[in-house]
Amino acid sequence: MRRAGFVIAIAAAAVLCASRPAVSAPVKQLSMQDLCLRLKAEIKEFGWNINPCDGIKWTEASTSVNGYPLVYAEFGDPKSSNTTLVLSMVHGDEITPLYIGFELIKWLEHNIASLKGARVVVAPLINPDSLFARPRTRVNARGVDCNRNFSTRDWHAKALKLWKTRFRSDKRRFPGNAPDSEPETIFQKGLIEKFQPQKILSIHAPLNFTDYDGPNNLALARFPREYVRECLKLRRHLRAISGGFFTGSLGNYAGQERGIPTITLELPTADPRKARVYWAKFRTGIRTMFEFKVPNYALLMKGNVRKGS
Ligand SMILES: [Zn+2]
């Protein structure tokens, strides 16, 4: 009898366990002050002489896997039809884009009025957890490359397959087990949805080129000729090249599929000592991009349906 009771007890416990999801400790939600202090300590070694939080009016959109606020700052007229969204440091082991993001914010605070009615939204630190990791990583706290996690149309068919074959299961490029699985990806998509930018600037390092994803001559069936022509003018102005795109990348999601010209600035190195030089070198081009008016042609984010211009 004792044995039977014991078996019943084990069976009951098993049913109980099966019906309950595994419990993991809840992630502590950190404050803006936590982020600022951590960031300040983090950049100290770089000798940049910037205060990453003082005087900046941040909006907290959501939180990272480890609980840090995911933030952005807005500049210019909210009614402007010329909005550029800047997304920086999606990969935390690329240091120089962080400096450009913060210098850009400082510069916009004083110069937005001179930018011909342009509006700019800057998210300088898309992936704080990867910057704060030891060693710093490309992937987020769950090991996902947030620039391969966007829900592009080919994601289910290709993302994991390509990762296993072409990228030989490189942990630095893991696209996740499902598209849009990561808060840092959803954060970027939310900014696109909220601000409906006419252009996107994404800042990375260290590949040393400027890439364009967006409407081109091969996409005339999907986009009006005059719209494509203006987008290609922007590409020419910035001397960007079209170097291909990846399943699940921002360029694929926003540029190829949504038709929002998306410029990826790959800084020449990730060396923090060179950050000042890069800011001096690229700020004129960045300003040109902000001022350049792509026709007011809005793509509805849902279902990629065209709206009138
Ligand atoms: Zn990168």
Residue 22 lies in a domain: no
> Pairing mode, if any, of strands 199-204 and 119-123?
unpaired
In b/e form, how buried is each residue of 114-142, taking b as 16+ CB within 10 angstroms? ebeebbbbbbbbbbbbbbbbeeebbbbbb
Residue 16 lies in a domain: no
Q: Is 302 exposed, middle or buried (0-12, 13-18, 19+ CB in 10 A)?
A: exposed
Whole-number Å distance, alpha carbon 18 to ligand 1 midpoint, is 41
Task: Provide the CA 65 distance to its chain's centre, in angstroms.
Answer: 15
Whole-number Å distance, alpha carbon 90 to ligand 1 midpoint, is 6
Bridge partners, residue 131, by sequence: none
Instruction: List Cβ neighbours of 125 (8 Å cut-off, separation of 6 or more).
Output: 39, 71, 88, 89, 98, 101, 131
Position 282 scores a pLDDT of 97
Residue 6 lies in a domain: no
Whole-number Å distance, alpha carbon 94 to ligand 1 midpoint, is 6
12-57 pLDDT, tens digit each: 444 444 444 455 677 899 999 999 999 999 999 999 988 888 889 9
Task: Tell me which residue range forms the domain holding 196.
Answer: 29-304
Residue 210 lies in a domain: yes
Is 0.95 topped by the overall pTM? no
Cβ contact 96:278 at 8 Å? yes
Average pLDDT (215-235) is: 91
How many independent structural domains does the chain possess? 1
CA dist., res. 223 & res. 307, Å (int): 11
CA dist., res. 248 & res. 158, Å (int): 9
Q: What is the mean pLDDT of the chain?
A: 89
Bridge partners, residue 193, by sequence: none
Whole-number Å distance, alpha carbon 47 to ligand 1 midpoint, is 22
73-89 pLDDT, tens digit each: 999 999 999 999 999 99
Residue 209 has pLDDT above 90, yes or no: yes
Position 300 scores a pLDDT of 39
CA dist., res. 33 & res. 15, Å (int): 44
Higher-pLDDT residue of 14 and 66 is: 66
Give the pLDDT band of residue 296 (cuts 50, 70, 90).
Answer: low
Helix (H, G, I), strand (E, B) or coil at 32: helix
Average pLDDT (91-103) is: 97
Average pLDDT (247-271) is: 96
Average pLDDT (113-137) is: 97
User: Residue 93 is part of a domain; what is its CATH number?
Assistant: 3.40.630.10
Residue 163 lies in a domain: yes
Whole-number Å distance, alpha carbon 93 to ligand 1 midpoint, is 8
CA dist., res. 291 & res. 81, Å (int): 11
Residue 5 lies in a domain: no
**Long-range contacts at 142-145 (CB < 8 A, ≥ 24 apart):** 142/65, 142/176, 142/181, 142/182, 143/171, 143/174, 144/174, 144/175, 144/176, 144/181, 144/182, 144/185, 145/91, 145/172, 145/173, 145/174, 145/175, 145/176
CA-atom Rg of the chain in angstroms: 22
Position 309 scores a pLDDT of 28
Position 23 scores a pLDDT of 57
Residue 255 lies in a domain: yes
Position 16 scores a pLDDT of 40
Residue 59 has pLDDT above 80, yes or no: yes
Whole-number Å distance, alpha carbon 279 to ligand 1 midpoint, is 17
Position 297 scores a pLDDT of 63
Residue 14 lies in a domain: no
Position 205 scores a pLDDT of 96
Q: In this structure, which residues have their CB less than 5 angstroms from ion ligand 1?
A: 91, 94, 204
Least trusted range by pLDDT, from 43-52, 130-139, 281-290? 43-52
> How is residue 107 written in tokens?
């510069």
Give the pLDDT band of residue 226 (cuts 50, 70, 90).
Answer: confident
Whole-number Å distance, alpha carbon 57 to ligand 1 midpoint, is 26
